[in-house]
Structure 1
Amino acid sequence: MTSKDWAIRAEGVSKKFGLTLRQSMNYGLRDIGARLLGRSNSETLREGEFWAVNDASFEVRGGQALGIMGVNGSGKTTLLRILNGVYAPDRGMVQMKGRVGALIAAGAGFAPMLTGRENVYVNGALLGLSTREIDGLMDEIVAFAELGQFIDLPVKNYSSGMYVRLGFAIAALSRPDVLLMDEVLAVGDMNFQKKCYDHILRLKRDGAAIILVSHSPGAIWSVCDRGLFMDKGKVLVEGPVEDVIRAYDDQNSRNAKTSAAQFEIAAGTHAGKIESDNEAGTSAEEVIPNSYGHNKGGTGDAICTDVVLRDVGTEQPKEEFGFGEPILITADVELKEAQEDLLIRFTVDAVHYRFIVTVDNYEQGLEWKRVEAGRYSLRVVMKDPNFRPGAYTFNMGISRKTVGVHLFYWFGAARMVVLHPSDKFLYSDNNAIMFINSDFALEAVASGSIVGAPVA
């Protein structure tokens, strides 16, 4: 097989399941009977069924790697199991050429009572290797898996990392023409992961076709030539890995924002109790939240309602902003009595960090020495935000500069998603939260020539 030949081909692949075990068994028996009679129930969904994979089509050539991304439940693993023959598709066709190595679940296919060495022979035979071929590979497999003397220990006593190391060594060192991998390498330590990726790239250079399912943008970007982004069983994006990673990150951000809002609703009864306590005269010190245990509080001398993020141009409410797009924040503020040295502050939380950004009137050079009691409309424009793509939460606080007590606070007052830009590729781990706009130049020392143009 040359690198120009296709090694994996999927055409209109679909698979459906019942929502309950009883439905699955009932429909399964009906389908077996229908197939025996030459009929099919594969075209439509019956009550309680859903499409785990719906009309997936793609092709992978020798020497190429395809990355599949999607949030949990999108159908990635089901598709991989169809390719590996674990499931038969309800519709469509799968074709693969050559020896197939698969690593879909840590320890899948291992007999727990057998030793690691015995499992190598069993799994090698399943891959089509002869006993002589396995004998020749044994030392290499044991060394790659870093199992040493533990190769003769029953695998039921292996840790998850040992399972993964042995499973990968068997699948990859058997010189497969096709290698299918699910998100299992994340279990190994960093040194083993690097060794695995080096070997994957070597297989790719030697002409193997590779499919990698992963939640790691870095893994997909470094290994794969093309990608699929799946959501609810359907392939929504097929193309360059950068486009697939953008789609995956944006979907994750939307889900994070939705989950945070649902959690706030679920905790609403607790928040309502806190507000009732405040009205009864509870002191501010007693209602400052313990690690966001409740989301509103204060002395009651100020109240804020309707914190809304808006489009700067149209002033329409908005939950998704483009990368670097200005943000208008509006809110209704009521002061029960006059306040001196009024301080209104917004802080922003990312998924893994709190208070990554602080914006307040004193920081912007605005000193409100005295503000009379009454109702006010607040407007704040964040002119040039440099948030990386992701989900963010806005918190609000009202206090006085010289008094360390909140007149009012509101955690989770508003939420937004920053989408990926189309002209930059900002893949990163979840710890990166800000974008630093920088100029890059690479100059050859000997000739003084510039490699390419500076990146703005």
Structure 2
Amino acid sequence: MSDNWAIRAQGVSKKFGLTLRQSMKYGLRDSVRKLAGRSSTTDVLREGEFWAVNDVSFQLNGGEALGIMGVNGCGKTTLLRILNGVYAPDKGRVQIRGRVGALIAAGAGFAPMLTGRENVYVNGALLGLSTREIDGLMDEIIAFSELDHFIDLPVRNYSSGMYVRLGFAIAALSRPDVLLMDEVLAVGDLNFQKKCYDHILQLKRGGTAIILVSHSPGAIWAVCDRGLFMNKGAALVDGPIEQVIREYDDQNSRNALAADVQFAHASNSHSAVSASKAEPIESFEKSGTGDVICNDFKVLSDHGEAVRELKFEDPFTIEVTVKVNKPIENFIIRVVADAVHYRNIVSLDNYEQGAPVDLLAPGTYIFRIRVEQQNFRPGAYAFNLAIISRHIGAHLFLWLKCGHIVILSPHERFLYSDPNAVMHFDAAFSHETLEAIG
């Protein structure tokens, strides 16, 4: 191991009670045992407790940046608070060399009745700065935070963005040896975020060890050298940023799919009886005239198996079983895909795809839609099914969120550095000679 380490975490664990009553009971019991000189049971789980952080170990050298990613509740902020000394670990130990600057929560450590200027002195003193050092930094802190004449306003009147600007300016401009940051920078506007990240990179080049907790793959990719992916308190991946971002994206996609499926099932449960009959259907997820009914929508792999996950760029088939209760002219079946942040990103329509159905007699049919070359970006997607008759402005059948799929991140390439992942221009280069020498 390198002797240039700035942070060492060895087997760090922290547990909490599920209720305040349990936490207070166990805390009081452990305190009494310590006062009596007896060992406490903080290294094992008791009834009603859970590990918020469980056996996390890593080392970070000066001038390196570690990105910590994971879905909400995985233990990222708890780990950061252990590193900052807010919490004592129940197991393991943390070693940190040098001065620590931390930005973990907007407004944390600020006295609301004091002005911004007075809070600079208080927080600077907590960081180990002398009054003379704080005086020398004051103008730079005010300029960086862009607070100007608001610096002498009580911070209780600050917005969340003003809290973050002042907090970051104090933590970063104090030239810490270790800088700990949670997702709070997301509160700032784009111009301030850019200024912060430029300064973070400058600190990193100067030898500061940086830990950044973020839900932004772009921020982690831009700043960090390696990462931790956490899930349920444990560090499942400690390695290259590419691997951590892949795991984070896939976990997010699976969680989004699970939530979507649970919501769709809850919304559809009360409509199951009417959906099996040739009667008008009215519910949040299904609606229609009752002339057409569909209760079976599948996404099939190349092997013909119903799947919820596909690899990046894998072909697939959509299979829909439709019961038609009366003759339908100009039959159109349409499948539309929604992503988490975008609707109607792709539409598959038998009429637009050159496969019209002029007349569909009563009966049960299976429609298959084959997609040979899909270019979904990794993530969670929901499918919506619409059945209409051309030139009639009403849905014969509409089923929202009828199917779900997760596209997994590819492991053979990293899309955030792929020229086709964000934007790629085909450019022509040329040059001309302005002056020839010799």
Question: What TM-score results when the alignment is normalised by the length of structure 1?
Answer: 0.89
1:273-292 to structure 2, matched below 5 A, reads: none
Alignment partner of 1:193 is 2:182: no
1:268-417 to structure 2, matched below 5 A, reads: 268=268, 271=271, 294-313=284-303, 315-417=304-406
Alignment correspondent of 2:436: none
Residue identity matched to 2:13? S
Alignment correspondent of 1:450: none
**What's the CA shift for 1:444?**
7.7
Distance in 2 separating the partners of 1:307 and 1:262 = 16
Three-state SS of the structure 2 residue aligned to 1:404 is coil
Distance in 1 separating the partners of 2:425 and 2:165 = 42
Offset from partner CA, 1:124-183 (integer Å, 9 cap, x none): 111011111111111111111111111111111111111111111111111100000011
Three-state SS of the structure 2 residue aligned to 1:109 is coil
Three-state SS of the structure 2 residue aligned to 1:212 is strand
Range 11-20 or range 241-250, more displaced: 241-250
Alignment partner of 1:20 is 2:9: no
Alignment correspondent of 1:249: 249
Aligned CA distance change for structure 1 residues 444 and 124 (closer, same or farther; 3 Å):
farther
Contact 1:387–1:435 at 8 Å: present in 2 too? no
Aligned CA distance change for structure 1 residues 254 and 239 (closer, same or farther; 3 Å):
same
- Identity over aligned pairs, percent: 64
Three-state SS of the structure 1 residue aligned to 2:394 is strand
**What's the CA shift for 1:338?**
2.5
Distance in 1 separating the partners of 2:361 and 2:423 = 42
**What's the CA shift for 1:331?**
2.1
Contact 2:332–2:388 at 8 Å: present in 1 too? yes
1:38-437 to structure 2, matched below 5 A, reads: 38-268=38-268, 271=271, 294-313=284-303, 315-427=304-416
Aligned CA distance change for structure 1 residues 5 and 436 (closer, same or farther; 3 Å):
closer
**What's the CA shift for 1:265?**
2.5
**What's the CA shift for 1:441?**
7.5
Range 392-401 or range 15-24, more displaced: 392-401
Distance in 2 separating the partners of 1:437 and 1:321 = 24
Aligned residues: 429
Contact 1:386–1:435 at 8 Å: present in 2 too? no
**What's the CA shift for 1:402?**
3.1
Residue identity matched to 1:19? L
Aligned CA distance change for structure 1 residues 74 and 440 (closer, same or farther; 3 Å):
farther
Alignment correspondent of 1:452: none
**What's the CA shift for 1:437?**
9.9
Residue identity matched to 2:224? C
Three-state SS of the structure 2 residue aligned to 1:11 is strand
- Structure 2: unaligned runs, 5 residues or longer: 434-438
**What's the CA shift for 1:425?**
2.3
Distance in 2 separating the partners of 1:86 and 1:25 = 17
Aligned CA distance change for structure 1 residues 441 and 245 (closer, same or farther; 3 Å):
farther
Three-state SS of the structure 1 residue aligned to 2:118 is helix
Distance in 2 separating the partners of 1:226 and 1:180 = 15
Contact 2:279–2:290 at 8 Å: present in 1 too? no
Distance in 2 separating the partners of 1:142 and 1:436 = 36
Range 80-89 or range 251-260, more displaced: 251-260
CA RMSD of aligned residues (A): 2.3
Three-state SS of the structure 2 residue aligned to 1:133 is helix
Question: What TM-score results when the alignment is normalised by the length of structure 2?
Answer: 0.92
Distance in 1 separating the partners of 2:411 and 2:51 = 31
Offset from partner CA, 1:229-281 (integer Å, 9 cap, x none): 111101111111111111111111111111111222332356459859x9555
Distance in 1 separating the partners of 2:429 and 2:220 = 30
Residue identity matched to 2:61? R
Residue identity matched to 1:401? R
Distance in 2 separating the partners of 1:219 and 1:444 = 34
Aligned CA distance change for structure 1 residues 130 and 165 (closer, same or farther; 3 Å):
same
Aligned CA distance change for structure 1 residues 177 and 268 (closer, same or farther; 3 Å):
same
**What's the CA shift for 1:340?**
2.3
**What's the CA shift for 1:323?**
0.6
Residue identity matched to 1:166? L
